[in-house]
Amino acid sequence: MRLQLSDEDAAFQQQMRDFFTTEIPADLRERWASGGEVSADDIRESQRLLNAAGLAVPHWPVEWGGKDWTQLQRHLYLQEMQAASVPPPLAFNASMVGPVIATFGSQEQKERFLPATANLDIWWCQGFSEPNAGSDLASLRTEAVLDGDEWVVNGQKTWTTLGQHADWIFALVRTEPDAPKKQMGISFLLIDMKTPGITVRPIQLIDGGHEVNEVFFDNVRVPADQLVGERGKGWTIAKFLLGNERVGVAPVGTIKRALASAKGYAAAARSGEGTLLQEPLVAARFAELETQLAALELTVLRVAANSRGEKPDPASSILKLRGSQLQQDVFEFTIDIAGPASLEWQQPDDTDLQSWAAVATPTYLNFRKASIYGGSNEVQRSIIASGILGLKG
């Protein structure tokens, strides 16, 4: 296995590093790195700067703003972006609905939505999960009935992340309730959030923040031409979308940055005659996490090298599983370093604590979600067992 970048890839990596650290304002990157409540304005500003430079949607088709990059170049782009604390392109736009419209949408839909989606002139949210239809997504019950040239939508979605900022929602709806299998008869609709009959209700999370919502549809009328792909083939589109969602979900750059920050906190904390970092058990924990992170990064590179075209390597499920676990481990360790200070969990502006200590516990609690979204870790284990190891349940 080649462990050194080629001259070409090393130059590409430096190009990305230079752009992210000089063209994205430092104050914006500092706010993102500090944690706390997500700023919609920061996400918009970052994505528009990236899009102006042609770096917002590199995995899209070239005609719609994509780059003909290798999988390794995509990895380097993401790693450098995360290392520089640049707010990434909004996943609902860049990684989910954008590729769906580019692949399954009509020409009119592509021209209407893709440029605005890349530039975040439209903020999308995801209408997939429902009460009793999360990991078992095929059990969804939100229905759409064709009435003339409009769909009439009724039902409820939940865990709609950042839906309070959204202009549009892409939703899975059941259009053929009598289909013989529950995966059949589902369609993919694009719905303007300003349409009468839509209600967004916030869900307050354990970290105290408002990140997810319930979305209710009460006789919402949607133009028929906002159906993407074939009627009743939404499950195929959903699988395509979720496959894209899982690509790049091992946030190696983010974990590296969080671990380096934790080491800085430990080095600054006094313990006896020395610092917390000099405590043998603390040093051993850092060594263990750094070793696991190095193994994860090598696996990311191996998956990138084995992926062909737009289809991710099946081993990408390993990245989702280990990436989410290791990220959670680092945030949990940061709480340990903060010690009793982590018990007072506040937003940095509301406390005299150092900002990192104030958000240590909320950040840890917030990222418990990482082992659920994008296909729960239990689902990933099933994929690894059956699709990679060839085990049958």
Distance CA 89, CA 87 (A): 7
Q: Which two tokens stand for residue 251?
A: 């946030």
Please tell me which residue in 8, 111, 245, 332 is annotated as part of the active site.
245
Q: Is 241 exposed, middle or buried (0-12, 13-18, 19+ CB in 10 A)?
A: buried
Cβ neighbours of 250 (radius 10 Å): 27
- Are the CB atoms for 252 and 323 separated by under 8 Å? yes
Q: Is 244 exposed, middle or buried (0-12, 13-18, 19+ CB in 10 A)?
A: buried
Among 241, 239, 301, smallest CA distance to 70 is for 301
- Are the CB atoms for 189 and 173 separated by under 8 Å? yes
Distance CA 316, CA 246 (A): 7
Sequence length of the chain is: 393
Under DSSP, is residue 89 helix (H, G, I), strand (E, B) or coil? coil
The answer to whether 245 is a known catalytic residue is: yes
Q: Which two tokens stand for residue 82?
A: 């995360």
Pairing of strands 186-192, 227-228: antiparallel
The residues annotated with a catalytic role in the active site are 245
